[in-house]
C-alpha cells in the first residue's frame, strides 16, 4: 500500500507537535514515517538534511502480535521526525510531542555532534501523565552562540537502548523497556557488568559518523575494539561489523526480500533477526540431540527451554538452555569465527534458514553479547571469560565411572566394584542412582538395603582402595512431616510458591515441594542439608538430576482425598495428585507458543506452573530455565563448604549459560542403540562450545533397546573411554551392562581405558587449559584445522585437545572405519611405528572388534604415564614423552605441556606451592634432535618424585648415535646415563607423503626410544641425540620392484617408492658418472665418490676408489689366514654356506657385506663404515686402491657411517642394524659340548669338571639327545624323558645350565607331530608349488620358511611344546 503524504496521511502519518513555551510551525516538507509510510518525499537539497545527521535514542511501537506471528508482516512502527535546516540559537532544547498513533512521547533535539546527553528529567505532562525526557546541553567543544544547522528530532516511546564495548573483543547490545523494569538473568547468578538503568540516559557521548547511522563509543572505550556497532533509525535495526575487514557479523534490518520482519518488542513477545551469508557455518544453540551432526541445519527446529524429555528425541528442547551460537566464515581461505549470545532465560524458538536467523522469545530483554574471535580458541577464551571459566575437575573424575539405576543393595554395589577389580578393568568412581535413598528422599539412606552401618563399611573399604563414591539427589523435597529436610525447609520458608502457598508437585518420592534457589536462605538451607548428609556418609561428589525441573504432574495440584499418592499399584511417574491445568493467566498461557517438547506443549507441562513465584516475586515464567543452574551454583558452594574447601565435583542434568563454571554434565537419558552412540559425539562437542567441557554420554545406553548389546558395548566403550566424562550408566529395565559382563567388552575396555589412563596427565592438563582459557577438552576437528573445509560438518570423529584424534566405529558388523585425517602425519597411539601421511583424505583403517583408532598429530609432545587400574596410582608412575615430527622430517618443531597439582585446591593455578607447569619443546634439524623443558613452580613436582623415564621420538629422519643430557643446565656424567637404552624401529606409512605440510616427501622416518632415564619432571632438562652420521644411497629400478632385505626383518626407514619421482636430487657432476647427494641433504655427511654402476636384472657392479694407505676390515664371514686386515687380491665371496671354517678365504656361514675403512692422514686418524645392504650372493674385489662389488641381484642400498672414532662408528652401525643382544650372566661362563651316546655320559662329563675343579657353567649336547635326529624330541632309549628330567634337575641344583641343538630341517614323517603341524599350517619353503624336499641328518626333510609369519608362530609353539616346565 502506498503512503499518503501530508494531510491525507491521517493518523498513520500525522504531523504537528507542541513544545512547552514554544509554538513551532510545521515546515512544508515535514515528514513522520512509520512502516505504513512506504516512501519518503525527497528532501530539497537546499534544506541541508542528511541521514548522517541523525542520532538515535530509540523509538518503538508495534502492532498487535496476532497480526505478525511469523514476523514478516509485522507492523513495527518505529516513528521518527525529520526536520530540515532551521536556524536556532539556544543553549539547551527540550521538546515534548504527541507522536502518531496517539502515543505520548518525549523527544530530544540533538544537533549533529554539538550536544550530548546529560540527564533525565520529568518534563512533559500529557493528560496528567508525567514522562521522562532527555536534557541536552552544548558539548564543551560547541559554541552555543553559533547558529545550529541541520538537526534531527527523534521520538522516545517505550524502549531504552544501550551499546557498550565491554572489552576489545566483546560488544554488548542491550535493548529493554525505558518505562518499566523487565526480567533479566539475575546479575548475582551470572556475574557481569550491569547495564545502566533504562530510566536514566547514558552520559556517554555517542556521536554520529560519516557512515550514516553507524557509530562507535568514544575513543577511550572503543579505540582498540574489533567490533563496530551501527544502526538505522527508521525502521530501527542495528548491525555489528568487524573493524579489521569491515565484514558485517549481525544485521537486524529487514528489506522487501527478507524472510523476516524488523524488530518486535512487546511484553510477552520479542522478535529479532539477522542476515547471514549463505556459506556461513553455524554451531551451538542447545541443548538438543542433533541427528544430522554438529552443524546447525536450516529449517530444523531449535527451541530453547529446559525440559525433562529424553535425549532420544531429535531436535527437541532438552535439559539445557544455551542461546549461543558460533559462526564460522571462510572467505577464500581467510577463516574467522565469532560468537553471538542472547542472554535471555525465557523460552524461545530460533529459526535458521541458511541465509538468516530469527529469534522469537516470550519475554525478557534483548541482551546481546558479540564475541569477535577470530580463532576458535580465542573465541572460547572470550566467551568463558564472560560466562565463567569451566570448573576445575578433580583428577579422579577423569577416571572411569560406573553407575546403574537398579542396584538393589550395598552388597550388590560392592560386588560391582569387585567385578571391575577382578577383570582388571580400570575403575575410579562408583555411583548409585536413587537406590540408596529411603523412599527416594534426598539425604537419606534405605535402612534395609543401604543401612548406614553397612554403607560406612562399604565406603571405608572403597576409599582404602583409592576409589570414590558419588550419589544422586533430586530437587523435589518430599512433603512428609517425619522428614527432617522437609521440616527444616518449611521452617526456613525456602520453597517456590503459587498463590502464596508452596507449589505442590510429584516426583519420585511422591508429593514434593521445590526449593527456590534464587532465595539466599534456600542456598544456606541446602548447604546445611548437604553437610548434614556428608556427616552420615562422606560421599565424594553429588549428582543433581531432574532439575529442569521435572514434575510428573501439570498445573495447580492438591493432595488427593480419595486415593493414595503415590499409588503403590501404579508406576511412580504417573501423576496421582488432583490437578487443574492453568490457562487463565498470561504467564501460563502466553500469546506465542514456543515449540516446547517438539509439540508446542504448554510451557508449564510436566514442570512447575509458570505463574508460580520465586524469591522477591520472580515469576517461574521468567526463571524456569535457570532452575538447574541456580541449584548447581548452590550445590557447588555447599560441597566446597562441607569438604573444608576441597575442589567440588557436581554433575548436573539441567544447564544454562555459565553452568560449566560449577559442574560437569552428562547428555541425559539416551538409548542403547547405534544411533544414540553416533549422536553422542555432536552433543559432547556442542557442550565444549558452550563452555562446559566436562561432558559425557551414558556408555552402552541408558534405556534398553532391541539392539544386541555386546557388540554395541564394545564399540561404545571404545568411544566412551575418550569422552571427557566417561561413565557407564543404565536403566533398571536394561540388562546388566557393566564392562566385565562380556569377555569381549572387557578386552575392549582394557584396551581403550588402558590408553585413557596413560593419557590422564594430558587430559588433566586439558582440564587446566579449560579452566584458564575455556579451551574444550573434546573439540571438533576444525578447531585445530580451521582451513580444512571437509571437517566443518565432521561429527563422527573428534579431537582431544589439539592433537589426539579419536576415530571410533559407529555402526554394527564393521571391522574397518572410514576416517578423515587432516593434512599431515598421524601416528597410531597403540603402535607409534604405524603412521598415516594424509593430504586431507579418508582412510579405511582396520578396526576389529576390540580396536579403536586413536592417532596423535605431528609437531606434538604428548605427556603419558604408565597407566594402571586407578588414577591415584597411575598418576605417580614415571612419564613417557611421545614426540611426533612430520614423516621423515629433517627440520621441524614440536611442543607440549603438562600441569600437575594436589588435586584439592578449588582453583587450578600456579604460585601456591602445590602445582607445577612444564612446557616441553623439541626440534629436529642439522642432524640432531633436541628435547628440552621450561618449568614453572617445579618444586612441587620434585617433591612428588615424578620423573621422565622414556622419550620416544617418531618421524625424524635417520637414527640416533650420541646422547647428551642436562638437568637444570648441568650436564649429567656418563655414569649417570650409563643405563640409558636406545631402540629404533622403522615407521610404516599409509597414504601419500606428497605435498603434505611439514613432510619431506620421504616415506618413513624412525621411531627412536630413549629409555632408562630418570629426569626429574620439576627440573629443566635438555636431551640431545644426533642423527647426522649416517648417509643412505639407494639405487634401484625405477620401473619394476626389485628384491630388498625385508623391512620387517631389518627395521629401517623405507626407501622412496621407485614409481614416484624421488625427492632426492641426484645430479651428475663434472666427473662423468660420479655423483653426490645434493648439499641440502648431506651437509653434515662425508661425500662418497663412486664409479658409474652397472645395474642389470641379475648382475650389479659398482666400485669405489680408495687411498692406497687406507686399511680395511670386515667383509665376512670367512677365515682370514693373514690376519684381520682385508688383503688386496684375496677372494671375498659373501654367501651363507655350510663349509668348514678350516677353509681359508672362502664364503662361510655368515654374510656381512660391511667394511670399516681406517685412514691416518699425518696422524689424524678417522674411521668410517660402508654397508651394502644386499642379501644376494656377491664377490668383492679389493685391489688396494679400489674396491669392486659384483652382485647377482637385488639393489644397491649403501649406508655410510661417518665415525670417526671406533666406538662412535660401532654406536652408529649398531643403532642401525640393531644393538647386540643382552646375554645372560651364565652365558659368559665355561661351556662344554660333546657327542655323548647317552645322558649318563653327559652326567659323567659334568662330574669330571667338578672333580677337576675346572669352571663349568653350561653343558651342551649336539643331536645325540634327539630321537632319530628329529627336532624337539628325546631319544627314548639313551635320553629318556624321565631320566633327562632327573639329570636336568640335578644340573640346575648345581647352578648349571643346559643347551641343546635343533636343526631347521623337519623330517618328512607322518608319525612326527612337528611335521604334521607344519604341514597343517603350510609353513615350508616350496618349489613348483610343493614343499622343497632335501636331506639332512634325519633323512628326508622340508625347510621351514621363516619369512612367513605363520612359520614364526608355529616355530614358537614347537619350542614351547619341546621344553618341559622344568627345563
Q: Could you give the residue numbers annotated as active site? A: 545, 548, 669
Peptide bond preceding 374 in cis form (omega within 30 of 0): yes
Fill in the DSSP letter of residue 782. G
Sign of CA dihedral 392, 396, 402, 404: negative
Strand extents, DSSP E, 435-523: 468-473, 477-478, 497-498, 501-502, 504-507, 510-513
Q: Do 259 and 72 touch, CB atoms closer than 8 A?
A: yes
Distance CA 124, CA 129 (A): 8
Instruction: Report the DSSP beta bridge partners of residue 1201.
Output: 1030, 1169
Distance CA 807, CA 822 (A): 12
Concatenated DSSP letters of 94-134:
-EEEE-GGG-EEEEEEE-TTTEEEEEEEEEEEETTEEEEEE
Residues in the chain: 1367
Give the contacts of 323 (CB within 8 A, at least 6 positions apart). 285, 304, 341, 342, 343, 344, 348, 350, 359, 657
Site of grid cell 644426533? 1026
* Structural Rg of the chain based on CA atoms: 41
Sign of CA dihedral 497, 500, 501, 505: negative
Instruction: Report the DSSP beta bridge partners of residue 531.
Output: none
The closest alpha carbon to 592, from 192, 67, 216, 1173, belongs to 67
Cell matching residue 661 = 563454571
Distance CA 1160, CA 1155 (A): 17
Concatenated DSSP letters of 277-345:
-TT-EEEEEES-B-TT-SBPPTT--EEE------TTSBTS--SEEEEEEEEEEEETTEEEEEEEEE---
Q: Do 655 and 319 touch, CB atoms closer than 8 A?
A: yes
Q: Diameter of the chain by CA atoms?
A: 139
Backbone angles phi, psi at 620, to 5 degrees: -60, -30
Concatenated DSSP letters of 741-779:
SSHHHHHHHHHHHHHHHHTHHHHHHHHHHHHHH---SEE
Backbone angles phi, psi at 130, to 5 degrees: -85, 130
Enumerate the H helices of 1093-1205 as residue ranges. Answer: none
Cell matching residue 16 = 504537528
Distance CA 709, CA 715 (A): 10
Cell matching residue 1106 = 680408495
Cell matching residue 679 = 549422536
Cell matching residue 923 = 626440534
Distance CA 55, CA 116 (A): 11
Residue 1154 backbone zone (phi > 0: left; psi -120 to 50: alpha; other: beta) = beta
What SS3 class is residue 492? helix
Distance CA 350, CA 344 (A): 13
CB-side neighbour CA atoms (13 Å) of 713:
27
Peptide bond preceding 235 in cis form (omega within 30 of 0): yes
Distance CA 1237, CA 1258 (A): 18
Strands 510-513 and 578-580: unpaired
Amino acid at each position: 500500500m502506498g503512503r499518503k503524504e501530508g494531510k491525507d496521511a491521517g493518523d498513520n502519518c500525522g504531523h504537528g507537535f507542541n513544545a512547552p513555551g514554544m509554538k513551532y510551525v510545521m515546515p512544508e516538507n515535514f515528514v513522520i514515517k512509520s512502516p505504513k509510510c512506504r516512501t519518503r518525499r525527497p528532501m530539497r537539497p537546499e534544506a541541508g538534511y542528511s541521514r548522517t545527521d541523525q542520532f538515535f535514542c530509540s523509538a518503538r511501537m508495534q502492532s498487535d502480535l496476532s497480526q505478525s506471528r511469523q514476523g514478516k508482516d509485522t507492523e513495527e512502527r518505529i516513528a521518527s521526525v525529520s526536520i530540515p535546516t532551521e536556524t536556532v540559537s539556544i543553549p539547551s532544547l527540550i521538546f515534548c510531542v504527541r507522536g502518531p498513533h496517539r502515543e505520548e512521547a518525549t523527544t530530544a533535539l540533538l544537533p549533529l555532534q554539538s550536544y550530548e546527553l546529560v540527564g533525565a528529567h520529568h518534563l512533559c505532562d500529557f493528560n496528567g501523565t508525567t514522562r521522562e525526557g532527555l536534557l541536552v546541553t552544548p558539548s564543551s567543544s560547541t559554541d552555543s552562540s553559533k547558529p545550529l544547522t541541520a538537526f534531527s528530532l527523534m521520538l522516545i516511546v517505550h524502549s531504552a537502548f544501550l551499546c557498550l564495548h565491554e572489552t576489545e573483543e566483546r560488544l554488548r547490545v542491550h535493548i529493554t523497556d525505558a518505562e518499566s523494569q523487565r526480567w533479566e538473568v539475575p546479575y548475582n547468578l551470572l556475574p557481569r557488568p550491569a547495564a545502566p538503568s533504562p530510566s536514566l540516559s547514558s552520559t556517554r557521548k555517542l556521536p554520529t559518523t560519516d557512515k550514516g547511522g553507524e557509530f562507535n563509543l568514544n575513543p577511550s572505550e572503543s579505540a582498540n575494539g574489533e567490533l563496530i556497532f551501527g544502526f538505522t533509525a527508521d525502521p530501527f535495526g542495528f548491525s555489528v561489523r568487524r573493524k579489521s575487514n569491515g565484514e558485517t557479523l549481525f544485521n537486524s534490518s529487514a528489506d522487501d526480500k527478507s524472510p523476516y520482519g524488523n524488530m518486535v518488542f512487546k511484553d510477552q513477545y520479542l522478535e529479532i533477526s539477522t542476515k547471514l551469508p549463505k556459506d556461513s557455518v553455524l554451531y551451538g544453540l542447545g541443548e538438543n540431540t542433533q541427528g544430522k551432526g554438529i552443524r546447525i541445519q536450516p529449517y530444523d527446529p531449535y527451541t530453547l527451554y529446559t525440559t525433562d524429555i529424553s535425549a532420544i528425541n531429535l531436535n527437541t528442547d532438552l535439559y539445557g538452555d544455551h542461546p549461543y551460537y558460533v559462526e564460522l566464515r571462510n572467505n577464500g581461505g581467510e577463516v574467522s569465527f565469532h560468537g553471538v549470545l542472547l542472554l535471555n532465560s525465557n523460552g524461545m524458538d530460533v529459526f535458521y534458514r541458511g541465509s538468516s536467523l530469527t529469534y522469537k522469545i516470550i519475554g525478557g530483554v534483548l541482551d546481546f553479547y558479540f564475541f569477535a574471535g577470530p580463532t576458535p580458541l580465542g573465541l572460547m577464551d572470550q566467551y568463558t571469560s564472560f560466562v565463567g571459566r569451566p570448573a576445575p575437575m578433580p583428577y579422579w573424575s577423569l577416571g572411569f565411572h560406573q553407575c546403574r539405576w537398579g542396584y538393589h543393595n550395598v552388597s550388590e554395589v560392592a560386588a560391582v566394584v569387585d567385578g571391575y577389580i577382578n577383570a582388571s578393568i580400570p575403575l575410579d568412581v562408583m555411583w548409585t542412582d536413587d537406590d540408596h535413598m529411603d523412599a527416594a528422599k534426598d539425604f537419606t539412606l534405605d535402612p534395609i538395603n543401604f543401612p548406614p552401618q553397612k554403607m560406612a563399611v562399604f565406603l571405608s573399604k572403597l576409599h582404602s582402595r583409592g576409589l570414590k563414591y558419588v550419589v544422586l539427589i533430586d530437587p523435589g523435597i518430599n512433603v512428609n512431616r517425619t522428614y527432617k529436610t522437609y521440616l527444616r525447609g518449611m521452617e526456613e520458608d525456602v520453597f517456590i510458591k503459587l498463590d502464596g502457598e508452596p507449589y505442590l508437585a510429584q516426583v519420585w518420592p511422591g508429593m514434593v515441594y521445590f526449593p527456590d534457589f534464587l532465595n539466599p536462605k534456600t542456598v544456606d538451607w541446602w548447604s546445611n542439608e548437604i553437610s548434614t548428609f556428608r556427616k552420615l556418609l562422606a560421599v565424594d561428589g553429588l549428582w543433581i538430576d531432574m532439575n529442569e525441573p521435572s514434575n510428573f504432574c501439570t498445573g495447580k495440584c492438591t493432595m488427593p482425598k480419595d486415593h493414595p499418592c503415590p499409588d503403590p499399584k501404579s508406576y511412580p511417574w504417573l501423576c496421582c495428585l488432583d490437578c487443574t491445568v492453568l490457562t487463565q493467566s498470561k504467564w501460563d498461557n502466553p500469546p506465542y507458543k514456543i515449540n516446547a517438547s517438539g509439540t508446542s506443549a504448554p510451557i508449564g507441562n510436566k514442570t512447575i506452573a509458570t505463574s508460580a513465584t520465586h524469591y522477591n516475586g520472580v515469576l517461574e515464567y521468567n526463571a524456569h530455565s535457570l532452575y538447574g543452574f541456580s541449584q548447581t551454583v548452590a550445590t557447588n558452594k555447599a560441597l566446597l563448604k562441607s569438604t573444608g574447601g576441597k575442589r567440588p565435583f557436581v554433575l548436573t542434568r539441567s544447564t544454562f549459560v555459565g553452568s560449566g563454571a560449577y559442574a560437569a554434565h552428562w547428555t541425559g537419558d539416551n538409548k542403547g542403540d547405534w544411533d544414540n552412540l553416533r549422536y553422542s559425539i555432536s552433543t559432547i562437542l556442542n557442550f565444549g562450545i558452550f563452555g562446559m567441557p566436562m561432558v559425557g554420554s551414558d556408555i552402552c545406553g541408558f534405556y534398553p533397546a532391541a539392539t544386541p548389546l555386546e557388540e554395541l558395548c564394545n564399540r561404545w566403550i571404545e568411544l566412551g573411554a575418550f569422552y571427557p566424562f566417561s561413565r557407564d550408566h543404565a536403566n533398571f529395565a536394561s540388562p546388566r551392562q557393566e564392562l566385565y559382563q562380556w569377555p569381549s567388552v572387557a578386552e575392549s575396555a582394557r584396551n581403550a581405558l588402558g590408553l585413557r589412563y596413560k593419557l590422564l596427565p594430558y587430559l588433566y592438563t586439558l582440564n587446566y587449559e579449560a579452566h584458564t582459557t575455556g579451551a574444550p577438552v573434546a573439540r571438533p576437528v576444525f578447531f585445530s584445522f580451521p582451513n580444512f573445509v571437509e571437517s566443518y560438518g565432521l561429527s563422527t570423529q573428534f579431537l582431544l585437545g589439539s592433537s589426539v584424534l579419536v576415530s571410533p566405529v559407529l555402526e554394527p558388523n564393521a571391522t574397518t572405519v572410514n576416517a578423515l585425517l587432516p593434512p599431515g602425519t598421524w601416528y597410531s597411539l597403540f603402535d607409534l611405528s604405524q603412521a598415516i601421511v594424509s593430504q586431507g583424505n579418508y582412510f579405511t583403517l582396520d578396526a576389529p572388534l576390540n580396536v579403536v583408532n586413536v592417532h596423535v598429530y605431528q609437531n606434538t609432545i604428548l605427556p603419558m604415564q604408565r597407566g594402571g587400574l586407578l588414577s591415584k596410582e597411575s598418576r605417580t608412575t614415571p612419564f613417557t614423552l611421545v614426540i611426533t615430527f612430520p614423516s621423515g622430517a629433517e627440520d621441524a618443531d614440536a611442543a607440549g605441556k603438562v600441569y600437575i597439582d594436589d588435586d584439592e585446591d578449588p582453583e587450578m593455578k600456579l604460585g601456591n606451592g602445590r602445582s607445577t607447569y612444564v612446557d616441553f619443546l623439541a626440534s629436529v634439524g642439522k642432524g640432531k634432535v633436541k628435547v628440552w623443558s621450561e618449568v614453572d613452580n617445579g618444586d612441587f613436582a620434585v617433591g612428588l618424585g615424578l620423573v621422565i623415564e622414556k622419550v620416544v621420538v617418531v618421524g625424524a629422519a635417520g637414527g640416533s648415535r650420541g646422547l647428551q643430557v642436562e638437568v637444570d643446565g648441568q650436564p649429567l656424567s656418563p655414569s649417570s646415563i650409563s643405563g640409558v637404552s636406545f631402540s629404533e624401529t622403522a615407521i610404516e606409512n599409509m597414504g601419500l607423503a606428497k605435498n603434505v605440510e611439514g613432510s619431506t616427501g620421504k616415506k618413513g622416518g624412525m621411531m627412536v626410544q630413549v629409555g632408562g632415564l630418570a629426569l626429574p619432571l620439576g627440573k629443566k632438562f635438555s636431551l640431545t641425540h644426533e642423527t647426522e652420521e649416517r648417509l643412505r644411497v639407494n639405487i634401484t629400478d625405477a620401473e619394476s620392484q626389485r628384491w630388498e632385505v625385508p623391512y620387517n626383518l631389518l627395521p629401517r626407514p623405507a626407501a622412496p617408492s621407485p614409481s614416484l619421482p624421488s625427492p632426492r636430487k641426484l645430479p651428475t657432476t663434472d666427473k662423468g658418472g660420479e655423483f653426490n647427494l645434493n648439499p641440502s641433504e648431506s651437509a653434515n655427511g662425508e661425500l662418497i665418490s663412486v664409479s658409474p654402476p652397472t645395474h642389470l636384472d641379475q648382475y650389479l657392479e659398482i666400485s669405489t676408489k680408495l687411498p692406497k694407505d687406507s686399511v680395511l676390515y670386515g667383509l665376512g664371514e670367512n677365515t682370514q689366514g693373514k690376519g684381520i686386515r682385508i688383503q688386496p687380491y684375496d677372494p671375498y665371496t659373501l654367501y651363507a654356506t655350510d663349509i668348514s671354517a678350516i677353509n681359508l678365504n672362502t664364503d662361510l656361514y655368515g654374510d656381512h657385506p660391511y667394511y670399516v675403512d681406517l685412514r691416518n692422514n699425518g696422524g689424524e686418524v678417522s674411521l668410517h663404515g660402508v654397508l651394502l645392504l644386499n642379501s644376494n650372493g656377491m664377490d668383492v674385489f679389493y685391489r688396494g686402491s679400489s674396491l669392486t662389488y659384483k652382485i647377482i641381484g637385488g639393489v644397491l642400498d649403501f649406508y655410510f657411517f661417518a665415525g670417526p672414532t671406533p666406538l662412535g662408528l660401532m654406536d652408529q652401525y649398531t643403532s642401525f642394524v640393531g644393538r647386540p643382544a643382552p646375554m645372560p650372566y651364565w652365558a659368559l661362563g665355561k661351556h662344554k659340548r660333546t657327542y655323548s651316546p647317552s645322558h649318563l655320559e653327559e652326567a659323567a662329563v659334568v662330574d669330571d669338571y667338578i672333580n677337576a675343579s675346572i669352571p663349568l657353567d653350561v653343558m651342551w649336547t649336539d643331536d645325540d639327545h634327539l630321537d632319530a635326529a628329529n627336532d624337539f624330541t628325546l631319544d627314548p632309549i639313551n635320553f629318556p624323558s624321565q631320566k633327562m628330567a632327573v639329570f636336568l634337575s640335578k644340573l640346575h641344583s648345581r647352578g648349571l645350565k643346559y643347551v641343546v641343538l635343533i636343526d631347521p630341517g623337519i623330517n618328512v614323517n607322518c608319525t612326527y607331530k612337528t611335521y604334521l603341524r607344519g604341514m597343517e599350517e603350510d609353513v615350508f619353503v616350496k618349489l613348483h608349488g610343493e614343499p622343497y624336499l632335501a636331506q639332512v641328518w634325519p633323512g628326508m626333510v622340508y625347510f621351514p620358511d621363516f619369512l612367513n609369519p605363520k612359520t614364526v608362530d608355529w616355530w614358537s609353539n614347537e619350542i614351547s611344546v619341546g621344553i618341559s616346565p622344568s627345563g
